[in-house]
Structure 1
Amino acid sequence: MANNNESRPQGDELVTVSAEKEVIDSKTDTPSSPKQAKSSGNGLLWFVVVILFLIVLSMAGAGYWYYMQQQTAQQQTLNAQQKNASDLNAMVQERNQLNAKLDEITKSNNALNNTLNALQSENETLALQAESALEQIKNMEGRRPADWLIAEADYLVRMAGRKLWLENDVRTAILLLVNADKRLKSLADPSVLPVRAALAEDIQTLQQLNPVSPSSVALALTGMVAQIDKLPLDTFEKPKDVDAQDNTLSESTDDWKANLAKVWDKLVGDLFTVKTIEGPVEPVLSLEAQYLLKEQLRLQLMHAQSAALKGDAGLYNQSLQYAQTLLIEKFDIETSQVTGFVNAIQNLLNTDVSRPLPSELKAQKPLEGLLDNRVKQVFGQGASAL
């Protein structure tokens, strides 16, 4: 661009110089050949100038185009560098993320390896336990039915103890002990003979207890309580006057004085009675007193009933003796009803209701020890619930 601007003044100067020469030439009237030679030289000069000018313009355009191409290429290079830098940053971040994930996967893999090692060791332990259990099962062949019979016998002995101490049912307890002995007898094993001996001793002890049934005594007392209201009391009764005169009126008119005296005596006798009685005087019992006496007798019989069920011989005898005393003193002992009641109470007094139960069964502990040796050691702690 600068070259083009600098070349333009030179051309103007050349045009000015040529014009001045033409004016001078026209004024001096020189020959035509030198003029022609000058005009041809000026044309060539102008041609060269024009060519140079075009060359300069083309060079300027080429320079401008090259400059623009360089700017565009530089901008593209810069954009490519920025894109490459962003891509590189993205790749670096992705690489960091991949490294973090790889670290997590490595940690997880290590944890899984540890778990796998633990599971393998546990599996080996379980395999050893299974082999040991199989070996024990092989050793147990032919003994498991016997072991369960021992457990069943132990259960029967426990139930016998509950029946004996909680329900005072001696008969059922004896039956349970006999069934337990049958279970052990079916084993045909000499090692259970000491337990069977203890069972036989327990059965013999229970059989030697008082055979009187407390329930039978209690039922007899219940029947007697229901008859109390029918028993007559020993109350005061007006004695018969054997010395009483005959107050029957005569139909004869001649006996008017005797009839009048009889009427008078009857009126006076209805109002006042005077009688001399030899012996102790007993008061007349009121209805409330009679009711209380019968209720007192009923209460004593109920106490005796409760004592019979509990096996308390002292309270039983005391209640019956007090009831017998009430019958003799307050009831009419001359009647057959009261006499039969007194005899029934005397029979109950002669009945022994005491029943000293043993504090424990001698076969229980040996049977538990046998069960521990035969069952629990084989099955481990799983048999502790038996």
Structure 2
Amino acid sequence: MANNNDSRPQDDALVNVNDNKEVIDSAPDTPTTAPKKEKSSGNGLLWFVVVILFLLVIGLAGAGYWYYMQQQTERLSSLDTQQKNTVALQSMEQQRAQLTDKIDAITQRNNALADTVSALKAENETLALQAESALEQIKNMEGRRPADWLIAEADYLVRMAGRKLWLENDVRTAILLLVNADKRLKSLADPSVLPVRAALAADIQTLQQLNPVSPSSVALALTGMIAQIDKLPLDAFEKPKDVNAQDNTLSESTDDWQENLAKVWQSLVDDLFTVKTIEGPVEPVLSLEAQFLIKEQLRLQLMHAQSAALKGDAGLYGQSLQYAQTLLIEKFDIEASQVTGFVSALQNLLNTEVSRPIPSELQAQKPLEGLLDSRVKQVFGQGASAL
């Protein structure tokens, strides 16, 4: 540019020879100095913008890298938690399968026992018919101790009490049968039957001291509670409301353009960056898998307690209910009415005694059989042996 400006004054000097030299010399100076200043100012502004853009690109790249690392960390943590939950679920499935096998075995034993009970009931009916026939024979006998048939009836009632006690666990009916047997012997007004009546009184007292709670009623109560587990609310984390949140709704008035512009800018900033302050302990968010595992653990413990109640195992029964109560308090919303009622029902079951040490034999059975042999069979022979 300096060379071009220098050539122009030379051409002007050739055309206008008489022009002043100072004018010719000053002509190139004026156009050369002004463009240089404008070019220097434009280059500085361009470099400033380039530097700002470069810093913005570096900042965005750093923020993106930080966000990517955070996402990777959260993803690895989520995968680790999912693997742990999967292992726990598999373990629970195995325990549940084992418990199902045990329940199936118990069901088979119960079916076999039911068949045995049915056979014994048929035998009892046969024996009852035979007893009625023998008693009819006793009534038809003349002059041969007409009151001795009461001993046979008492023996029959004692044997029926034993069957009710050991096969059906029906303590109440067994007590009633023993009381009726004692009444039969009492009606004899014979001092020789007092030792048998004393043994009957001891058996009645022993049965009255047994636990009156039926294991089947406890098991049915636990079955009803198991069906209500899915309706119990868990103590899950709920996102709190932001009381300091600003209303970014735009106004329709054109006079509020400055406020609308500020709200738009604030909305853009909130979408890019979020800063929250949390006071107090942070509660973890329960996933669907974790919620399922917690409810399955509670259901499994109640099923353990149900099986223990049927077996009369007081230790396992109490331990299972204690663990179930701990799960309810720690994992469920204890302020909800359903959970409160569930905990109260569990506490009532914990206070219920399920063990029933039923005696293996009745004290009055052998003495009464001996009395029957000595006083009835010797008199009536084959007719009494059918009893």
Q: What TM-score does the superposition give when structure 2 sets the normalisation length?
A: 0.58
Residue 208 (structure 2) pairs with residue 207 (structure 1): yes
User: What's 2:300 paired with?
Assistant: 299
Match runs of 1:247-286 below 5 Å: 247-267=248-268, 269=270, 273-286=274-287
Pair 192,275 (structure 1): closer, same or farther in 2 beyond 3 Å: same
User: What's 1:153 paired with?
Assistant: 154
Residue 355 (structure 2) pairs with residue 357 (structure 1): no
Residue 237 (structure 2) pairs with residue 236 (structure 1): yes
Shift of 1:228: 1.6
Secondary structure, in 3 states, of the residue corresponding to 1:308?
Answer: helix
Flag the structure with more relative contact order, 1 or 2, with Cα contacts below 8 A and sequence separation at least 6. 2
Q: 1:277-333 CA distances to partner (integer Å, 9 max, x unpaired)?
A: 233333322223222322221222233233334332212211110110110111011
Pair 258,195 (structure 1): closer, same or farther in 2 beyond 3 Å: same
User: What's 1:331 paired with?
Assistant: 332
Structure with larger Rg: 1
- AA aligned to 2:244 is D
- AA aligned to 1:311 is G
| Separation (CA, whole Å) in 1 of partners of 2:344 and 2:334 | 11
List gaps (5 residues or longer) in structure 2.
1-137
Residue 200 (structure 2) pairs with residue 227 (structure 1): no
Pair 236,143 (structure 1): closer, same or farther in 2 beyond 3 Å: farther
User: What's 1:14 paired with?
Assistant: none
Pair 247,200 (structure 1): closer, same or farther in 2 beyond 3 Å: same
Pair 271,333 (structure 1): closer, same or farther in 2 beyond 3 Å: farther
| Separation (CA, whole Å) in 1 of partners of 2:261 and 2:386 | 105
Shift of 1:167: 1.8
Match runs of 1:1-386 below 5 Å: 141-143=142-144, 145-267=146-268, 269=270, 273-380=274-381, 383-386=384-387
| Separation (CA, whole Å) in 1 of partners of 2:349 and 2:274 | 47
Q: What TM-score does the superposition give when structure 1 sets the normalisation length?
A: 0.58
Root mean square deviation, CA, Å: 2.6
| Separation (CA, whole Å) in 1 of partners of 2:347 and 2:229 | 16
User: What's 1:42 paired with?
Assistant: none
Secondary structure, in 3 states, of the residue corresponding to 1:217?
Answer: helix
Pair 176,240 (structure 1): closer, same or farther in 2 beyond 3 Å: same
List gaps (5 residues or longer) in structure 1.
1-136
Shift of 1:385: 4.5
Q: 1:333-359 CA distances to partner (integer Å, 9 max, x unpaired)?
A: 122221222122122212223222223
Aligned length: 248
Percent identity of the aligned residues? 92
| Separation (CA, whole Å) in 1 of partners of 2:166 and 2:361 | 9
Shift of 1:235: 1.2
- AA aligned to 1:291 is F
